[in-house]
Chains A and B, each alone.
Chain A
């Protein structure tokens, strides 16, 4: 389908309502389009739960079976996308538990008690004239050349920083900031509260900023 001429592709891209209706009718093209659209992200998400790529593929496959078996009862209270990802994360969790793996969304606290957004040493101590104020200001990145921040090398560093985040922080920042999902979509897909989603996003972003800072400015002043 990707090689189709422009007009073919445009007419083939269906809205979510159209896909749901077509799927209920048993339209294979609609199903294929749905799989193509989500498969690769589903694999990426499943991979954070289970031990191997092969198992992740099985989880994704099981998810599609779940979608087919459930589409008749799908009421559209969540979007189709979040409904699919919720099935995915549930299957992945079940699978991970069976594997006896420490899994991200069932164990509380694995990455909940993380440190502060910024190293406390960067701030003035209690008893100082301005307690909690910067010892020295973080530098502005506005003067960095655009090419530096968005250079391939910088981005690959950012990608590594994200890959190393604890599972839940990783999933939230990938869905929100890489894939551009809304907070609501992430909460529904991962079955977490809005407050929880925000805490995870905060930790993830703060950590990536710290990594980026150490990359762009290896020795932040501490005086």
Chain B
């Protein structure tokens, strides 16, 4: 690694989102990866975060509504006729 500075476990938990979002500088990313090579605790932490994201992703998305409110449809028809809406 080019820099001597390493990151601590505590620091790692604060920059994890930058890491997962892929917005870290190459140098910071290398430091992060180097830390993971040596630290099972942080490997677990990162994995917990990935599992958390996965669980959140399992929550139901907003459904497609099969009905359009009458007022909205009426507004559309007025707009189409050129009436002010």
Residues of A participating in the B interface, judged by any CB pair closer than 8 Å: 1-2, 26, 28, 31-32, 35-37, 39-41, 43-44, 57, 61, 64-65, 68-69, 116-118, 120, 123, 130-134, 136-142, 149-150, 154-155, 158-159, 162, 173, 177-180, 183, 194, 198, 201-202, 205-206, 208-209, 212-213
Q: How many interface residues does chain B have, given as a range?
A: 35 or more
Is chain A's interface secondary structure helix, strand, loop, or mixed overall? helix
What is the chain B residue whose CB lies nearest that of A207? B52
Q: Please, how many angstroms separate the alpha-carbon atoms of A148 and B49 in the complex? A: 16
- Which residue among B11, B41, B85 has the maximum number of chain A CB atoms within 10 Å of its CB? B41
Q: Is the CB of B56 within 8 A of A178?
A: yes
In the bound complex, residues from chain A placing their C-beta under 8 Å from that of B85 are 65, 68-69
Q: Please, how many angstroms separate the alpha-carbon atoms of A150 and B53 in the complex? A: 11
In the bound complex, residues from chain A placing their C-beta under 8 Å from that of B14 are 116-117, 202
Question: Assuming A40-B65, A133-B9, A138-B41, is B48 touching A149 (CB within 8 A)?
Answer: no
Is chain B's interface secondary structure helix, strand, loop, or mixed overall? helix
Q: Please, how many angstroms separate the alpha-carbon atoms of A64 and B65 in the complex? A: 15
Q: Which residues of B4-48 are within 8 A (CB) of A?
A: 8-11, 13-14, 16-18, 21, 23, 39-45, 47-48
What is the chain A residue whose CB lies nearest that of B75? A65
In the bound complex, residues from chain A placing their C-beta under 8 Å from that of B56 are 158, 162, 173, 177-178, 205, 208
Q: Is the CB of A206 within 8 A of B13?
A: yes
Residues of B participating in the A interface, judged by any CB pair closer than 8 Å: 8-11, 13-14, 16-18, 21, 23, 39-45, 47-49, 51-69, 71-73, 75-77, 79-80, 85
Q: Please, how many angstroms separate the alpha-carbon atoms of A208 and B14 in the complex? A: 14
Q: Is the CB of B51 within 8 A of A138?
A: no
In the bound complex, residues from chain A placing their C-beta under 8 Å from that of B77 are 28
- 9 nearest A-B residue pairs (beta carbon): A132-B8, A137-B41, A41-B62, A202-B17, A132-B10, A134-B41, A40-B62, A209-B52, A177-B56
Q: Please, how many angstroms separate the alpha-carbon atoms of A132 and B65 in the complex? A: 49
